[in-house]
Structure 1
């Protein structure tokens, strides 16, 4: 019996990435770090409750059934979302505390990764692959 593979339609993943980029840009140009809460709280909700409001809203605009789109691996997307939430969280708290350099460093990282992912290269996927390779090589040495 095969195990069902969980997936997320690619347009919803790209919508989430786009909201990250737009929110970070709005925070930078407006000086209002509160814009970072949009992807941060949505990402936290997705990770802990299995409900990402951005993706749920995006589903309303899909023209086909979700299964008709190119699937993105759910587990990989959870890993990527974890990285994004950590970077957004550190960035948001840093801006609140007046540690703007740290805020910019972390929000630049997450915005750049999201933008590059929209273009087709997933930084989180690369990190996840390298991490799994490292763990595998360690098991060979034991």
Structure 2
């Protein structure tokens, strides 16, 4: 397989596109149940540290995994947590009669994934700020 501390960029991009397309389909088709697909994939990947999207992507890669640029595995798991929380809250909103909540969290996760594809990782920024805050707090005492 590959080192879980580093994830090849094509796998990360495939997961981001999967999220963007799933959420977009759910919203455009007015089928919020589609949100359960990326939610369940995200939960599965967090629980078992294996993402099914990676397995689906592998046959399309032409080079060996070791030749691709890598993303930090811890950062990607942090991002996946954010995605799962937002998709969970979005699904909750749609299924329990709070469609505004559903739209807000669904659009947030799709936007974050799309922006990450374009080059700016919102989850990375959040994690960096959190780690800086934690570091300052630790050395303030």
Report the TM-score when normalising by structure 1: 0.94
Question: What secondary structure sits across from 2:50 in the alignment?
Answer: coil
Task: Give 1:93 deviation, angstroms.
Answer: 1.4
Query: RMSD between aligned alpha carbons?
Result: 1.2
2:90 is the alignment partner of 1:91 = yes
Q: Which runs of 4+ in 1 moved over 3 A?
A: none
Task: Give 1:27 deviation, angstroms.
Answer: 0.7
2:12 is the alignment partner of 1:13 = yes
Task: Give 1:87 deviation, angstroms.
Answer: 0.2
How far apart in 1 are the matches of 2:68 and 2:113? 20
Question: Counterpart in 2 of 1:81?
Answer: 80
Question: What secondary structure sits across from 2:60 in the alignment?
Answer: coil
Task: Give 1:5 deviation, angstroms.
Answer: 7.4
Question: What secondary structure sits across from 1:60 in the alignment?
Answer: helix
2:120 is the alignment partner of 1:121 = yes
Render the CA deviation track for 1:6-34: whole Å, top value 9, x for unaligned: 11100110110001111111111111111
2:53 is the alignment partner of 1:54 = yes
Question: Counterpart in 1 of 2:131?
Answer: 132
Task: Give 1:59 deviation, angstroms.
Answer: 1.4
Counting only pairs closer than 5 Å after superposition, residues 66-77 of structure 1 correspond to structure 2 as: 66-77=65-76
Report the TM-score when normalising by structure 2: 0.95
Render the CA deviation track for 1:62-118: whole Å, top value 9, x for unaligned: 111111111000000000000000000110111011210000110111010000000
Question: Counterpart in 1 of 2:30?
Answer: 31
Gaps of 5+ in 1: none
How far apart in 2 are the matches of 1:60 and 1:134? 41
Question: Counterpart in 2 of 1:105?
Answer: 104
Aligned length: 139
Gaps of 5+ in 2: none
